[in-house]
Amino acid sequence: MTDKPRCQFCDNTGWVCENHPDKPSGDFSDRSDACQCGAGAPCPHCNSSGNPPDMSRIRLQGRR
């Protein structure tokens, strides 16, 4: 069994930054370049159907 390659845009979360679709949404990704500037949007590369995000991965620390 081979591991599925990670999506370079959303870090396999299925969600990117609405304003910067080349970066993962900071609400779901711990990657150093994850964007915190706005709302998330479905990743156009691996979540084009707009599946709901896995809310168990959401990061609420420091959010208001």
Distance from C-alpha of 19 to C-alpha of 59, rounded to nearest angstrom: 19
**Burial class of residue 45 (count of CB atoms within 10 Å of its CB; 0-12, 13-18, 19+):** middle
What band does 54 get if pLDDT is binned at 50, 70 and 90?
confident
Give the pTM: 0.73
What band does 23 get if pLDDT is binned at 50, 70 and 90?
very high
Distance from C-alpha of 24 to C-alpha of 32, rounded to nearest angstrom: 10
| Residue 55: CB atoms within 10 Å | 8
Distance from C-alpha of 1 to C-alpha of 48, rounded to nearest angstrom: 25
